[in-house]
Structure 1
Amino acid sequence: METNFKTIVLSDIHLGTKGSKAKEVVRFLKQYQCENLILNGDIIDGWQLKKSGSWKRKHTRVFNRVLKMIDCDRTKVVYLRGNHDDFLDQVLPLEIGNLSIQKDLVYESQGKKYFITHGDVFDNITTNLRWIAYLGDMGYTFLLWLNTRVNHYRRKKGLPYYSLSQYVKSKVKSAVSYIDGFETELCKIARSKGCDGIICGHIHKAEIRTIDGIDYLNSGDWVESLSALAEDHEGNWQLIYYNELDFGKGQQEESKVIPLREPTVSRIDKFS
Protein backbone atom coordinates (compact mmCIF):
# COMPACT_ATOMS: atom_id res chain seq x y z
CA MET A 1 0.00 0.00 0.00
CA GLU A 2 1.24 3.45 -0.91
CA THR A 3 2.59 5.48 2.00
CA ASN A 4 3.91 8.48 0.06
CA PHE A 5 1.24 10.99 -0.92
CA LYS A 6 1.15 14.37 -2.57
CA THR A 7 -1.22 15.85 0.03
CA ILE A 8 -2.70 14.76 3.36
CA VAL A 9 -5.51 16.65 5.10
CA LEU A 10 -6.20 16.31 8.83
CA SER A 11 -8.79 18.24 10.82
CA ASP A 12 -10.49 18.32 14.21
CA ILE A 13 -7.70 16.81 16.31
CA HIS A 14 -8.82 18.90 19.33
CA LEU A 15 -5.50 18.87 21.16
CA GLY A 16 -5.96 19.88 24.79
CA THR A 17 -9.00 17.65 25.35
CA LYS A 18 -9.31 14.18 26.86
CA GLY A 19 -10.91 12.83 23.69
CA SER A 20 -8.07 13.85 21.38
CA LYS A 21 -6.16 10.88 19.94
CA ALA A 22 -2.79 12.64 19.90
CA LYS A 23 -0.69 9.45 20.10
CA GLU A 24 -2.54 8.02 17.13
CA VAL A 25 -1.97 11.21 15.12
CA VAL A 26 1.78 10.99 15.71
CA ARG A 27 1.83 7.33 14.76
CA PHE A 28 -0.13 8.05 11.60
CA LEU A 29 2.19 10.88 10.55
CA LYS A 30 5.21 8.63 11.10
CA GLN A 31 3.66 6.04 8.80
CA TYR A 32 2.94 8.37 5.89
CA GLN A 33 4.96 10.95 3.98
CA CYS A 34 3.54 13.80 1.93
CA GLU A 35 4.60 16.89 0.03
CA ASN A 36 1.77 18.95 1.56
CA LEU A 37 0.16 18.60 4.97
CA ILE A 38 -2.99 20.62 5.52
CA LEU A 39 -4.18 20.98 9.13
CA ASN A 40 -7.75 22.04 8.47
CA GLY A 41 -8.92 23.63 11.71
CA ASP A 42 -9.69 22.68 15.31
CA ILE A 43 -6.22 21.22 15.69
CA ILE A 44 -5.95 22.89 19.11
CA ASP A 45 -9.15 23.15 21.16
CA GLY A 46 -8.90 26.64 22.65
CA TRP A 47 -12.48 26.44 23.97
CA GLN A 48 -11.74 23.45 26.18
CA LEU A 49 -8.35 24.76 27.26
CA LYS A 50 -10.10 27.85 28.61
CA LYS A 51 -12.42 25.66 30.67
CA SER A 52 -11.46 22.16 31.75
CA GLY A 53 -8.94 21.05 29.17
CA SER A 54 -5.23 20.48 29.81
CA TRP A 55 -2.17 20.47 27.59
CA LYS A 56 -0.10 17.29 27.86
CA ARG A 57 3.23 16.13 26.52
CA LYS A 58 1.52 13.90 23.94
CA HIS A 59 -0.16 17.01 22.49
CA THR A 60 3.21 18.72 22.10
CA ARG A 61 4.53 15.63 20.31
CA VAL A 62 2.03 16.19 17.50
CA PHE A 63 3.67 19.53 16.69
CA ASN A 64 7.13 18.06 17.19
CA ARG A 65 6.27 15.51 14.52
CA VAL A 66 4.92 18.19 12.17
CA LEU A 67 8.07 20.28 12.62
CA LYS A 68 10.21 17.22 11.89
CA MET A 69 8.26 16.68 8.66
CA ILE A 70 9.03 20.28 7.69
CA ASP A 71 12.71 19.99 8.60
CA CYS A 72 13.56 16.49 7.39
CA ASP A 73 11.05 15.82 4.60
CA ARG A 74 10.62 19.41 3.37
CA THR A 75 6.86 19.02 3.79
CA LYS A 76 4.84 22.18 3.22
CA VAL A 77 2.42 22.63 6.12
CA VAL A 78 -0.67 24.85 6.05
CA TYR A 79 -2.60 25.36 9.29
CA LEU A 80 -6.10 26.69 8.64
CA ARG A 81 -8.05 28.34 11.45
CA GLY A 82 -11.11 26.56 12.86
CA ASN A 83 -13.73 27.73 15.34
CA HIS A 84 -12.09 25.99 18.33
CA ASP A 85 -8.68 27.49 17.49
CA ASP A 86 -10.05 30.95 16.66
CA PHE A 87 -7.25 32.44 18.78
CA LEU A 88 -5.23 32.19 15.55
CA ASP A 89 -7.12 35.27 14.34
CA GLN A 90 -4.52 37.27 16.28
CA VAL A 91 -1.64 36.07 14.10
CA LEU A 92 -2.97 35.10 10.68
CA PRO A 93 -1.97 35.31 7.98
CA LEU A 94 1.52 34.16 8.94
CA GLU A 95 4.21 32.46 6.87
CA ILE A 96 7.53 31.14 8.16
CA GLY A 97 9.46 28.98 5.73
CA ASN A 98 7.38 25.94 4.84
CA LEU A 99 4.77 26.70 7.51
CA SER A 100 1.85 29.03 6.91
CA ILE A 101 -1.19 29.87 9.03
CA GLN A 102 -4.23 31.25 7.26
CA LYS A 103 -8.02 31.33 7.17
CA ASP A 104 -8.64 29.28 4.03
CA LEU A 105 -7.04 28.55 0.67
CA VAL A 106 -7.63 27.47 -2.91
CA TYR A 107 -5.74 24.27 -3.70
CA GLU A 108 -4.96 23.41 -7.32
CA SER A 109 -4.02 19.95 -8.50
CA GLN A 110 -4.18 18.12 -11.83
CA GLY A 111 -6.28 20.85 -13.42
CA LYS A 112 -8.88 21.11 -10.64
CA LYS A 113 -9.37 23.75 -7.96
CA TYR A 114 -10.53 23.00 -4.43
CA PHE A 115 -11.63 25.53 -1.86
CA ILE A 116 -10.28 24.38 1.52
CA THR A 117 -11.85 25.72 4.70
CA HIS A 118 -12.59 24.30 8.13
CA GLY A 119 -16.30 24.88 7.55
CA ASP A 120 -17.40 26.81 10.63
CA VAL A 121 -17.71 30.11 8.76
CA PHE A 122 -20.78 28.69 7.00
CA ASP A 123 -22.32 27.44 10.23
CA ASN A 124 -24.87 30.05 11.36
CA ILE A 125 -25.07 28.55 14.84
CA THR A 126 -21.33 28.87 15.42
CA THR A 127 -21.04 32.26 13.74
CA ASN A 128 -24.11 34.09 15.01
CA LEU A 129 -25.22 32.26 18.16
CA ARG A 130 -21.96 31.48 19.88
CA TRP A 131 -23.55 30.65 23.26
CA ILE A 132 -25.60 27.86 21.63
CA ALA A 133 -22.42 26.53 20.04
CA TYR A 134 -20.75 26.41 23.48
CA LEU A 135 -23.81 24.60 24.90
CA GLY A 136 -23.67 22.07 22.10
CA ASP A 137 -19.96 21.63 22.74
CA MET A 138 -20.70 20.70 26.37
CA GLY A 139 -23.19 18.03 25.26
CA TYR A 140 -20.71 16.67 22.74
CA THR A 141 -17.99 16.55 25.39
CA PHE A 142 -20.28 14.48 27.61
CA LEU A 143 -20.98 12.08 24.74
CA LEU A 144 -17.24 11.63 24.21
CA TRP A 145 -16.77 10.93 27.94
CA LEU A 146 -19.52 8.31 27.81
CA ASN A 147 -18.00 6.92 24.61
CA THR A 148 -14.69 6.36 26.44
CA ARG A 149 -16.44 4.37 29.17
CA VAL A 150 -18.37 2.27 26.65
CA ASN A 151 -15.23 1.40 24.69
CA HIS A 152 -13.30 0.58 27.85
CA TYR A 153 -15.92 -2.08 28.53
CA ARG A 154 -15.87 -3.26 24.90
CA ARG A 155 -12.06 -3.67 24.95
CA LYS A 156 -12.36 -5.90 28.02
CA LYS A 157 -14.84 -8.05 26.12
CA GLY A 158 -12.59 -8.20 23.05
CA LEU A 159 -14.98 -6.11 20.98
CA PRO A 160 -13.88 -3.51 18.36
CA TYR A 161 -14.06 0.27 18.82
CA TYR A 162 -17.55 1.73 18.58
CA SER A 163 -18.39 5.43 18.17
CA LEU A 164 -21.40 6.14 20.38
CA SER A 165 -21.54 9.80 19.40
CA GLN A 166 -21.51 8.96 15.69
CA TYR A 167 -24.39 6.54 16.30
CA VAL A 168 -26.40 9.18 18.17
CA LYS A 169 -25.85 11.72 15.41
CA SER A 170 -26.93 9.22 12.75
CA LYS A 171 -30.21 8.57 14.60
CA VAL A 172 -31.15 12.15 15.43
CA LYS A 173 -33.19 13.53 12.53
CA SER A 174 -32.22 17.16 13.15
CA ALA A 175 -28.52 16.26 13.16
CA VAL A 176 -28.87 14.39 9.86
CA SER A 177 -30.73 17.35 8.36
CA TYR A 178 -28.03 19.74 9.61
CA ILE A 179 -25.23 17.67 8.06
CA ASP A 180 -27.04 17.45 4.72
CA GLY A 181 -27.57 21.21 4.73
CA PHE A 182 -23.95 21.85 5.70
CA GLU A 183 -22.62 19.75 2.84
CA THR A 184 -24.95 21.35 0.29
CA GLU A 185 -24.15 24.91 1.37
CA LEU A 186 -20.41 24.33 1.24
CA CYS A 187 -20.69 22.99 -2.29
CA LYS A 188 -22.58 26.16 -3.25
CA ILE A 189 -19.71 28.23 -1.84
CA ALA A 190 -17.16 26.23 -3.83
CA ARG A 191 -19.12 26.84 -7.03
CA SER A 192 -19.40 30.57 -6.28
CA LYS A 193 -15.61 30.72 -5.99
CA GLY A 194 -15.12 29.00 -9.33
CA CYS A 195 -13.82 25.82 -7.72
CA ASP A 196 -14.47 22.21 -8.68
CA GLY A 197 -14.77 21.03 -5.11
CA ILE A 198 -14.67 21.73 -1.39
CA ILE A 199 -12.43 20.22 1.29
CA CYS A 200 -13.56 20.75 4.88
CA GLY A 201 -13.87 19.31 8.39
CA HIS A 202 -15.89 20.69 11.33
CA ILE A 203 -18.79 18.21 11.50
CA HIS A 204 -16.68 15.13 12.33
CA LYS A 205 -18.13 13.11 9.46
CA ALA A 206 -15.58 11.85 6.95
CA GLU A 207 -16.89 11.63 3.42
CA ILE A 208 -16.16 11.92 -0.29
CA ARG A 209 -19.05 12.37 -2.68
CA THR A 210 -20.36 14.55 -5.49
CA ILE A 211 -23.15 17.05 -4.82
CA ASP A 212 -24.67 18.82 -7.82
CA GLY A 213 -21.47 18.43 -9.80
CA ILE A 214 -19.19 19.64 -6.98
CA ASP A 215 -16.73 17.29 -5.29
CA TYR A 216 -17.35 17.28 -1.52
CA LEU A 217 -14.51 15.98 0.68
CA ASN A 218 -14.53 15.95 4.48
CA SER A 219 -11.48 14.71 6.38
CA GLY A 220 -13.44 13.66 9.49
CA ASP A 221 -11.70 13.97 12.85
CA TRP A 222 -9.24 12.51 15.37
CA VAL A 223 -11.66 12.19 18.26
CA GLU A 224 -14.12 9.62 16.87
CA SER A 225 -13.49 8.41 13.32
CA LEU A 226 -9.68 8.93 13.27
CA SER A 227 -9.66 9.63 9.56
CA ALA A 228 -7.64 11.58 7.01
CA LEU A 229 -7.91 12.60 3.38
CA ALA A 230 -5.01 11.64 1.14
CA GLU A 231 -4.24 12.58 -2.48
CA ASP A 232 -1.80 10.49 -4.49
CA HIS A 233 0.50 11.91 -7.16
CA GLU A 234 -2.06 11.24 -9.93
CA GLY A 235 -4.72 13.31 -8.19
CA ASN A 236 -6.78 10.45 -6.73
CA TRP A 237 -8.37 11.20 -3.34
CA GLN A 238 -9.20 8.63 -0.69
CA LEU A 239 -10.09 8.39 2.98
CA ILE A 240 -7.76 6.55 5.33
CA TYR A 241 -9.06 5.31 8.69
CA TYR A 242 -6.47 4.81 11.41
CA ASN A 243 -8.46 2.04 13.12
CA GLU A 244 -8.39 0.00 9.88
CA LEU A 245 -4.59 0.11 9.52
CA ASP A 246 -2.34 -2.80 10.44
CA PHE A 247 0.82 -1.23 11.81
CA GLY A 248 2.12 -4.59 12.96
CA LYS A 249 2.89 -5.69 9.42
CA GLY A 250 4.66 -2.43 8.64
CA GLN A 251 2.65 -2.13 5.45
CA GLN A 252 -1.08 -1.75 5.00
CA GLU A 253 -3.18 -4.18 3.04
CA GLU A 254 -5.14 -2.79 0.10
CA SER A 255 -8.44 -3.29 1.91
CA LYS A 256 -7.35 -1.14 4.80
CA VAL A 257 -7.53 2.12 2.86
CA ILE A 258 -11.21 2.89 2.59
CA PRO A 259 -12.58 4.56 -0.54
CA LEU A 260 -16.17 5.70 -0.25
CA ARG A 261 -18.89 3.60 -1.81
CA GLU A 262 -21.97 4.16 -3.94
CA PRO A 263 -24.74 5.23 -3.83
CA THR A 264 -24.02 7.87 -1.21
CA VAL A 265 -20.32 8.05 -1.98
CA SER A 266 -18.24 8.24 -5.09
CA ARG A 267 -14.46 8.21 -5.38
CA ILE A 268 -12.83 11.03 -7.26
CA ASP A 269 -10.73 9.13 -9.75
CA LYS A 270 -8.45 11.79 -11.19
CA PHE A 271 -7.85 15.50 -11.50
CA SER A 272 -7.50 16.14 -15.20
Structure 2
Amino acid sequence: MLKTHFKTIVISDVHLGTKGSKAKEVARFLKLYSCENLILNGDIIDGWQLKKSGSWKRKHTRFFNRVLKMIEQEKTNVFYLRGNHDDFLDQILPIQIGNLSILNDMIYESNGKKYFVTHGDIFDSVTTNFRWIAQLGDIGYTFLLWLNRLVNHHRRKRGLPYFSLSQYVKGKVKTAVSYIDQYEIELAKMAKAKGCDGIICGHIHKAENRVIEGIEYLNSGDWVESMSALSEDHDGNWQLIYFNQISFKKSPEEKIVYFPVRDHKSVAFEAMPDGLTPKSSFYK
Protein backbone atom coordinates (compact mmCIF):
# COMPACT_ATOMS: atom_id res chain seq x y z
CA MET A 1 0.00 0.00 0.00
CA LEU A 2 1.35 3.39 -0.96
CA LYS A 3 1.79 5.39 2.25
CA THR A 4 1.96 9.19 2.09
CA HIS A 5 3.77 11.22 4.72
CA PHE A 6 2.55 14.70 5.65
CA LYS A 7 3.83 17.30 8.05
CA THR A 8 0.44 17.71 9.74
CA ILE A 9 -2.98 16.03 9.57
CA VAL A 10 -6.10 17.50 11.20
CA ILE A 11 -9.14 15.37 12.05
CA SER A 12 -12.26 16.44 13.92
CA ASP A 13 -15.80 15.36 14.74
CA VAL A 14 -15.35 11.59 14.81
CA HIS A 15 -18.09 11.28 17.47
CA LEU A 16 -16.92 7.95 18.86
CA GLY A 17 -19.70 6.34 20.88
CA THR A 18 -22.42 7.05 18.34
CA LYS A 19 -23.91 4.87 15.60
CA GLY A 20 -22.97 7.40 12.95
CA SER A 21 -19.25 7.42 13.75
CA LYS A 22 -17.07 6.08 10.92
CA ALA A 23 -14.49 4.67 13.34
CA LYS A 24 -13.30 1.90 11.00
CA GLU A 25 -12.79 4.32 8.13
CA VAL A 26 -10.83 6.89 10.13
CA ALA A 27 -8.59 4.17 11.58
CA ARG A 28 -7.93 2.87 8.08
CA PHE A 29 -7.22 6.41 6.94
CA LEU A 30 -4.57 6.82 9.65
CA LYS A 31 -2.93 3.56 8.57
CA LEU A 32 -2.62 4.86 5.02
CA TYR A 33 -1.20 8.29 5.93
CA SER A 34 1.60 9.13 8.34
CA CYS A 35 2.49 12.56 9.74
CA GLU A 36 4.76 14.41 12.12
CA ASN A 37 1.84 16.10 13.85
CA LEU A 38 -1.71 14.87 14.31
CA ILE A 39 -4.31 17.35 15.55
CA LEU A 40 -7.55 15.84 16.86
CA ASN A 41 -9.65 18.97 16.76
CA GLY A 42 -12.60 18.26 19.06
CA ASP A 43 -15.67 16.01 19.26
CA ILE A 44 -13.51 12.91 18.88
CA ILE A 45 -15.51 11.26 21.67
CA ASP A 46 -19.21 12.06 21.90
CA GLY A 47 -19.76 12.36 25.64
CA TRP A 48 -23.27 13.74 25.12
CA GLN A 49 -24.52 10.61 23.36
CA LEU A 50 -22.64 8.25 25.67
CA LYS A 51 -24.50 9.76 28.62
CA LYS A 52 -27.84 9.15 26.91
CA SER A 53 -28.10 6.32 24.42
CA GLY A 54 -24.66 5.91 22.88
CA SER A 55 -22.47 2.82 23.23
CA TRP A 56 -18.72 2.24 23.12
CA LYS A 57 -17.67 -0.46 20.65
CA ARG A 58 -14.42 -2.26 19.89
CA LYS A 59 -13.97 -0.29 16.67
CA HIS A 60 -13.98 2.92 18.72
CA THR A 61 -11.15 1.58 20.87
CA ARG A 62 -9.24 0.58 17.73
CA PHE A 63 -9.15 4.23 16.68
CA PHE A 64 -7.22 5.15 19.83
CA ASN A 65 -5.03 2.09 19.45
CA ARG A 66 -4.05 3.40 16.04
CA VAL A 67 -3.29 6.85 17.46
CA LEU A 68 -1.12 5.28 20.20
CA LYS A 69 0.81 3.31 17.57
CA MET A 70 1.45 6.55 15.70
CA ILE A 71 2.89 8.03 18.89
CA GLU A 72 4.99 4.99 19.82
CA GLN A 73 6.12 3.67 16.44
CA GLU A 74 6.10 6.75 14.22
CA LYS A 75 6.94 9.34 16.91
CA THR A 76 3.94 11.43 15.90
CA ASN A 77 3.11 14.45 18.06
CA VAL A 78 -0.60 14.24 18.90
CA PHE A 79 -2.70 17.20 20.05
CA TYR A 80 -6.23 16.51 21.29
CA LEU A 81 -8.28 19.72 21.47
CA ARG A 82 -11.50 19.91 23.44
CA GLY A 83 -14.80 20.09 21.57
CA ASN A 84 -18.30 20.71 22.87
CA HIS A 85 -19.24 17.01 22.77
CA ASP A 86 -16.08 16.00 24.64
CA ASP A 87 -16.26 18.87 27.12
CA PHE A 88 -15.51 16.37 29.91
CA LEU A 89 -11.88 17.17 29.06
CA ASP A 90 -12.35 20.50 30.87
CA GLN A 91 -11.64 18.63 34.11
CA ILE A 92 -8.09 17.65 33.10
CA LEU A 93 -6.77 20.08 30.50
CA PRO A 94 -4.20 21.31 29.91
CA ILE A 95 -2.15 18.14 30.28
CA GLN A 96 0.88 16.70 28.54
CA ILE A 97 1.98 13.06 28.58
CA GLY A 98 4.94 12.30 26.36
CA ASN A 99 4.02 13.16 22.78
CA LEU A 100 0.35 13.61 23.68
CA SER A 101 -0.98 17.04 24.61
CA ILE A 102 -4.61 17.74 25.57
CA LEU A 103 -5.52 21.40 25.18
CA ASN A 104 -8.44 23.78 24.85
CA ASP A 105 -7.02 25.46 21.74
CA MET A 106 -3.59 26.30 20.35
CA ILE A 107 -1.48 28.29 17.93
CA TYR A 108 0.17 26.30 15.16
CA GLU A 109 3.16 27.86 13.38
CA SER A 110 4.49 26.52 10.10
CA ASN A 111 6.48 27.99 7.22
CA GLY A 112 6.24 31.53 8.59
CA LYS A 113 2.47 31.40 9.13
CA LYS A 114 0.41 31.25 12.32
CA TYR A 115 -2.88 29.40 12.61
CA PHE A 116 -5.35 29.60 15.47
CA VAL A 117 -6.62 26.05 16.05
CA THR A 118 -9.94 25.61 17.84
CA HIS A 119 -12.85 23.19 17.57
CA GLY A 120 -15.17 26.11 16.84
CA ASP A 121 -18.00 25.72 19.34
CA ILE A 122 -16.84 28.98 20.92
CA PHE A 123 -18.83 30.63 18.13
CA ASP A 124 -22.09 29.21 19.53
CA SER A 125 -21.47 30.74 22.96
CA VAL A 126 -20.66 34.13 21.45
CA THR A 127 -23.60 34.32 19.03
CA THR A 128 -26.56 33.20 21.10
CA ASN A 129 -28.94 33.77 18.17
CA PHE A 130 -27.64 30.54 16.66
CA ARG A 131 -27.85 28.32 19.72
CA TRP A 132 -30.70 26.48 17.98
CA ILE A 133 -28.15 24.58 15.90
CA ALA A 134 -26.87 22.78 19.02
CA GLN A 135 -30.31 22.14 20.49
CA LEU A 136 -32.05 21.13 17.27
CA GLY A 137 -28.96 19.39 15.99
CA ASP A 138 -28.80 16.92 18.85
CA ILE A 139 -32.26 15.58 17.95
CA GLY A 140 -32.78 16.53 14.32
CA TYR A 141 -29.26 15.71 13.22
CA THR A 142 -29.44 12.27 14.86
CA PHE A 143 -32.68 11.63 12.96
CA LEU A 144 -31.08 12.75 9.68
CA LEU A 145 -28.17 10.37 10.25
CA TRP A 146 -30.59 7.50 10.82
CA LEU A 147 -32.46 8.39 7.65
CA ASN A 148 -29.16 8.85 5.83
CA ARG A 149 -28.10 5.27 6.67
CA LEU A 150 -31.40 3.98 5.29
CA VAL A 151 -31.08 5.99 2.07
CA ASN A 152 -27.50 4.91 1.44
CA HIS A 153 -28.28 1.26 2.16
CA HIS A 154 -30.64 1.30 -0.83
CA ARG A 155 -28.22 3.39 -2.92
CA ARG A 156 -25.44 0.82 -2.38
CA LYS A 157 -27.77 -1.96 -3.56
CA ARG A 158 -28.34 0.02 -6.76
CA GLY A 159 -24.62 0.70 -7.23
CA LEU A 160 -25.00 4.41 -6.54
CA PRO A 161 -22.36 6.51 -4.71
CA TYR A 162 -22.67 7.76 -1.13
CA PHE A 163 -25.09 10.66 -0.63
CA SER A 164 -25.02 12.98 2.39
CA LEU A 165 -28.61 13.81 3.27
CA SER A 166 -27.72 16.19 6.07
CA GLN A 167 -25.27 18.13 3.89
CA TYR A 168 -28.04 18.43 1.30
CA VAL A 169 -30.46 19.73 3.95
CA LYS A 170 -27.88 22.19 5.25
CA GLY A 171 -27.49 23.55 1.75
CA LYS A 172 -31.25 24.01 1.30
CA VAL A 173 -32.40 25.39 4.67
CA LYS A 174 -31.80 29.14 4.66
CA THR A 175 -31.19 29.39 8.41
CA ALA A 176 -28.55 26.65 8.21
CA VAL A 177 -26.85 28.35 5.26
CA SER A 178 -26.90 31.66 7.15
CA TYR A 179 -25.42 30.01 10.25
CA ILE A 180 -22.57 28.40 8.32
CA ASP A 181 -21.73 31.60 6.43
CA GLN A 182 -21.72 33.61 9.65
CA TYR A 183 -19.70 30.92 11.42
CA GLU A 184 -16.95 30.99 8.81
CA ILE A 185 -16.78 34.80 8.74
CA GLU A 186 -16.69 35.18 12.54
CA LEU A 187 -13.96 32.56 12.99
CA ALA A 188 -11.87 34.24 10.30
CA LYS A 189 -12.27 37.52 12.22
CA MET A 190 -11.21 35.76 15.42
CA ALA A 191 -8.02 34.50 13.79
CA LYS A 192 -7.25 37.98 12.50
CA ALA A 193 -7.81 39.48 15.97
CA LYS A 194 -5.29 37.00 17.39
CA GLY A 195 -2.70 38.06 14.83
CA CYS A 196 -2.92 34.80 12.88
CA ASP A 197 -2.83 34.10 9.16
CA GLY A 198 -5.46 31.40 9.33
CA ILE A 199 -8.03 29.49 11.36
CA ILE A 200 -8.24 25.69 11.65
CA CYS A 201 -11.57 24.41 12.97
CA GLY A 202 -14.32 21.79 12.78
CA HIS A 203 -17.67 21.69 14.62
CA ILE A 204 -20.15 22.35 11.77
CA HIS A 205 -19.33 19.17 9.80
CA LYS A 206 -18.62 21.12 6.62
CA ALA A 207 -15.14 20.70 5.19
CA GLU A 208 -13.70 23.85 3.65
CA ASN A 209 -10.44 25.34 2.41
CA ARG A 210 -10.80 28.93 1.30
CA VAL A 211 -9.65 32.49 1.96
CA ILE A 212 -11.95 34.91 3.79
CA GLU A 213 -10.78 38.53 3.73
CA GLY A 214 -7.13 37.50 3.62
CA ILE A 215 -7.47 34.79 6.29
CA GLU A 216 -7.09 31.09 5.45
CA TYR A 217 -10.23 29.33 6.65
CA LEU A 218 -9.61 25.60 7.06
CA ASN A 219 -12.34 23.25 8.31
CA SER A 220 -11.50 19.54 8.57
CA GLY A 221 -15.12 18.39 8.16
CA ASP A 222 -16.15 15.23 10.01
CA TRP A 223 -16.07 11.43 10.22
CA VAL A 224 -19.81 10.94 10.44
CA GLU A 225 -20.72 11.83 6.87
CA SER A 226 -18.13 13.58 4.71
CA MET A 227 -15.20 11.52 6.12
CA SER A 228 -12.65 14.24 5.47
CA ALA A 229 -9.39 15.51 6.90
CA LEU A 230 -6.98 18.40 6.40
CA SER A 231 -3.38 17.72 5.46
CA GLU A 232 -0.34 19.96 5.18
CA ASP A 233 2.78 19.10 3.21
CA HIS A 234 6.25 20.31 4.20
CA ASP A 235 5.92 23.39 2.00
CA GLY A 236 2.92 24.60 3.99
CA ASN A 237 0.29 23.71 1.39
CA TRP A 238 -3.06 22.60 2.80
CA GLN A 239 -5.53 20.28 1.13
CA LEU A 240 -8.68 18.37 2.01
CA ILE A 241 -8.64 14.59 1.71
CA TYR A 242 -11.91 12.67 1.37
CA PHE A 243 -11.93 9.01 2.36
CA ASN A 244 -14.39 8.11 -0.42
CA GLN A 245 -11.95 9.45 -3.02
CA ILE A 246 -8.96 7.41 -1.82
CA SER A 247 -7.79 4.52 -3.99
CA PHE A 248 -6.96 1.47 -1.86
CA LYS A 249 -5.07 -0.51 -4.49
CA LYS A 250 -2.72 -3.16 -3.15
CA SER A 251 0.96 -3.11 -4.10
CA PRO A 252 3.69 -5.77 -3.54
CA GLU A 253 5.24 -3.81 -0.70
CA GLU A 254 4.40 -0.79 1.41
CA LYS A 255 6.20 2.40 0.51
CA ILE A 256 6.23 5.78 2.15
CA VAL A 257 6.11 8.88 -0.04
CA TYR A 258 7.55 11.98 1.60
CA PHE A 259 6.59 15.42 0.40
CA PRO A 260 9.46 17.87 -0.21
CA VAL A 261 10.85 19.26 3.05
CA ARG A 262 11.68 22.94 3.08
CA ASP A 263 12.53 23.44 6.72
CA HIS A 264 11.57 21.04 9.50
CA LYS A 265 12.58 23.59 12.12
CA SER A 266 9.89 25.99 10.98
CA VAL A 267 7.26 23.98 12.82
CA ALA A 268 6.36 25.24 16.29
CA PHE A 269 3.44 24.87 18.64
CA GLU A 270 2.40 27.42 21.20
CA ALA A 271 -0.47 27.22 23.68
CA MET A 272 -2.74 30.13 24.40
CA PRO A 273 -1.74 32.38 27.34
CA ASP A 274 -3.91 30.44 29.78
CA GLY A 275 -2.95 27.05 28.36
CA LEU A 276 -0.01 24.73 28.09
CA THR A 277 3.24 25.38 26.27
CA PRO A 278 4.46 22.04 24.87
CA LYS A 279 8.11 21.23 25.55
CA SER A 280 10.43 22.34 22.78
CA SER A 281 12.19 18.96 22.89
CA PHE A 282 9.19 17.49 21.02
CA TYR A 283 9.97 19.47 17.91
CA LYS A 284 13.30 18.97 16.25
Asked if 1:103 corresponds to 2:104, the answer is yes
1:67-78 equivalences in 2 (<5 Å)? 67-78=68-79
Is the 8 Å Cα contact of residues 179 and 203 (structure 1) preserved in structure 2? yes
Note if contact 1:125-1:133 (Cα within 8 Å) is conserved in structure 2. Answer: no
What is the alpha-carbon distance in structure 1 between the residues aligned to residue 92 and residue 83 of structure 2? 13
**Residue in structure 1 matched with residue 52 of structure 2 by the alignment:** 51
Q: How far is 1:185 from its partner?
A: 0.2
Count of residue pairs the alignment pairs up? 252
Give the deviation of 1:223 after TM superposition.
0.4
Deviations 1:131-181 (A, max 9, x none): 872342111000000000000000011111000110010011111110000
**Matched residue, 1:150:** 151
Tell me if the contact between 2:13 and 2:222 (Cα under 8 Å) persists in the aligned partners. yes
* Deviation larger for 119-128 or 24-33: 119-128
Closer, same or farther: CA 199–250 of 1 in aligned 2, 3 Å: farther
Cα pair 1:226 1:242 within 8 Å, conserved: yes
Amino acid at match of 1:233: H
Distance 1:113 1:125, change over 3 A: closer
Whole-angstrom distance in 2 between the partners of 1:157 and 1:66: 35
**CA RMSD after TM alignment:** 1.9
Whether the aligned pair in 1 keeps the contact of 2:3 and 2:32 (CA below 8 Å) is: no
Give the aligned partner of residue 64 of structure 1. Answer: 65
Aligned partners of 1:230 and 1:20: how far apart in 2? 21
SS of 1:223 mapped into structure 2: coil
1:139 aligns with 2:140: yes
For residues 237-256 of structure 1, what are the structure 2 equivalents within 5 Å?
237-249=238-250
Residue of structure 2 equivalent to 1:176: 177
Residue 93 of structure 1 corresponds to 94
Matches within 5 A, 1:151-230: 151-230=152-231
Q: Which runs of 5+ in 1 are unaligned?
A: 252-270
Contact 1:121 1:127 survives alignment (8 Å): no
Aligned twin of 1:8: 9
Of structures 1 and 2, the one scoring higher in RCO (CA 8 A, sep 6+) is 2
Residue 250 and residue 193 in structure 1: after superposition, are their counterparts in 2 closer, same or farther (change >3 A)?
farther
Q: Which whole-Å CA distance do the structure 2 matches of 1:41 and 1:132 have between them? A: 17
Q: Secondary structure at the match of 2:101?
A: strand
Mark the CA change 1:132 to 1:180 in structure 2 (over 3 Å): closer, same or farther: closer
- In the superposition, the TM-score normalised over structure 2's length comes to 0.85
Q: Deviations over 1:174-201 (max 9, x none)?
A: 1111000000000110011000000000
Contact 1:114 1:197 in 2 (8 A): yes
Is the Cα contact below 8 Å between 2:164 and 2:225 reproduced in 1?
A: yes
Identity percentage over the alignment? Answer: 77
**Which whole-Å CA distance do the structure 2 matches of 1:216 and 1:159 have between them?**
32
Contact 1:93 1:103 in 2 (8 A): yes
Partners of 1:67 and 1:209 in 2: CA distance: 32
Separation in structure 1 between the aligned mates of residue 41 and residue 123 of structure 2, nearest angstrom: 15
Q: CA deviation at 1:248?
A: 2.4
Tell me, yes or no, if the aligned pair for 1:120 and 1:127 is still in contact at 8 Å: no
Deviation at 1:123, TM superposition (A): 1.4
Matches of 1:85 and 1:197, distance apart in 2: 24
2 CA distance for matches of 1:190 and 1:61? 34
For the residue of structure 1 that corresponds to 2:249, the secondary structure is helix
* Alpha-carbon contact 2:124-2:131 (below 8 Å) kept: no
Contact 1:120 1:126 in 2 (8 A): no
Runs of 4+ in 1 over 6 A off after TM superposition: 125-132
Query: Normalising by the residue count of structure 1, what TM-score does the alignment of the two structures yield?
Result: 0.89
- The question of whether the paired residues in 2 share the 8 Å contact of 1:5 and 1:35 is answered with yes
Contact 2:3 2:34 in 1 (8 A): no
Are the counterparts in 2 of residues 40 and 201 from structure 1 also a CA contact under 8 Å?
yes
